[in-house]
Chains A and B, each alone.
Chain A
Amino acid sequence: MLAKMPEQDSVYDVVIVGSGAAGLAAALYAGRYQMRTLVVEGEFGGETAKAGIIENYPGTPKIDGYDLMQTMKQQAIDVGAHYLEGWVSDIDGEEGCFVVTVGSTKYYAKTIILSGGAERKKLELPNEKELSNKGIHYCVTCDGPLYGGKRVAMVGGGDASLKGVLLLGAYAEKIYLLARSTVKGEPINVEHIKKLGDKVVILEGTQVAEIVGKDKLEKIILTKPYEGSTELVVGGLFVEIGAKPNITLGQKLGCTLDKFGYLEADTLMRTTVPGVFVAGDTVNAFGAFKQIVTGAAMGAVAATSAYEYARQHADLLCKVHWKIAPTGIAA
């Protein structure tokens, strides 16, 4: 996998922030539109790369999430996308041209696709930070296998949580699934969990009230008694309670937020700022239904919209910077 390095001070038709399923699908489509494309990769693969085995991405009956994202990345590289490892520290509009700062280097772009995903929510309880990785974990594919033969709890009633329970089912002695209301994952995953029998105890309407432990997690206190007690002794506590969209860069550009706190976008993935598009978990296009396939679809649409925008405004965008380097899409 040999990615082309970004060209400093040159003008890109599109800079894509983020390299999860949405960003990489956008890069693939942008590349096929022959746009000069730069992907700024903060963390490779986004949530998909950490998801373990994927069984619901069309065309791939069963694939490891990490491998799927490597393939997506390679596809984007094959159509000419440039890659840059790093985090966007600043982004601004300047005379019809966006300026993207990564480290001390600036890159110019006619359009932007924001696909920086979302940050996993934490429980926000006392002792949580102190016991992080000392019994409390946020990556079940990473740390779940360390709890072979142990009693563990999984917090969250969504599909990511159910998949986590299924993974833990291969190792743990007992798994308590704590759902704030009811379990809401895909029925097929619920069925798989039922096959684990008594190993999994589902506690609906139950949350973690307190985390107890000094050097490592010792037990948790539940909001609702289980078998007559609110104390639950577990060696590990895994947290899968959703994520907060990464909206900072969008806000910096002046994008409006929707009532749920995501970047507002229309069905063509256009934000309220001309030339700025969005895809993936930073936008609420499909409501709470956040899948690899929906992220990839949004990326494809965002790239198409960015292409149309850059083509229609080719005689206006980044003209100040034409003297620096030519761009891919002609007026």
Chain B
Amino acid sequence: MEQTQSQKKHKVVIYSTPSCMYCRLAKDYFKQQNVAYEEYNVQADVLKREQMFKVSGQMGVPVIDIDGQITVGFDKDRIKQLLGVS
């Protein structure tokens, strides 16, 4: 689990695998926006993998939970919208 510094109030969780490019793009974007996030490595953490499947209904990464809103993949426009970033 990783915690970054934040200036924002959103609760952001990313379910990821270490070799996933879209996960890295998403994390790079959060860092760029100073958005704190919790990261679950679902390659190693089976319980979190099951949780990811439960919240998203599928097995593709990344799954991003922003304030309870689920996004599958790195959909930057939707993430911007959920974060209120222009």
Separation of A144 and B72 alpha carbons in the complex (Å): 16
Contact call B25/A133, Cβ cutoff below 8 A: no
A-B contact pairs, 5 of them (CB 8 A): A132-B60, A137-B60, A142-B19, A142-B22, A145-B17
Whether A142 contacts B61 in the complex (CB less than 8 A), given A52-B19, A133-B72, A167-B19, comes out as: yes
Known contacts A132-B58, A142-B60, then 13 further A-B pairs from the complex at CB < 8 Å, ordered by chain A residue: A45-B21, A49-B21, A50-B21, A139-B20, A141-B21, A143-B20, A144-B17, A144-B19, A145-B17, A145-B19, A146-B43, A148-B43, A167-B19
Q: How far is the CA of A154 from the CA of B42 in the complex (A)?
A: 21
Docked-complex contact A66 and B58, CB < 8 angstroms: no
Residues of B1-26 contacting chain A, CB below 8 A? 17-25
Q: How many residues of B contact A (CB 8 A)?
A: 20
A157 at the interface (CB under 8 A from B): no
Inside 8 A of A134's CB, which chain B residues have their CB? 57-59
In angstroms, how far is the closest chain A Cβ from the Cβ of B29?
10
Given known contacts A146-B42, A146-B43, A148-B43, A135 and B59 CB-to-CB distance under 8 angstroms: yes
Q: For A145, list chain B residues within 8 Å (CB).
A: 17-19, 42-43
Question: In the complex, which residue of chain A has the Cβ closest to the Cβ of B72?
Answer: A133
Interface residues on chain A, number (Cβ under 8 Å)? 25
**The one of A45, A132, A135, A142 that contacts B17, using a Cβ cutoff of 8 Å:** A142
Partner of B59, one of A52, A65, A133, A171: A133
What is the bound-complex CA distance between A66 and B20, given in angstroms? 9
| Nearest CB of A to B50, in Å | 11
Bound complex: CA of A137 vs CA of B24, how far in Å? Answer: 18
| Chain B residue, CB-CB nearest to A216 | B59
When each residue 63-78 of chain B gets 1 if its CB lies under 8 Å from chain A and 0 otherwise, what string results?
0000000001000100
Question: Which of A133, A171, A216 has most B Cβ within 10 Å?
Answer: A133
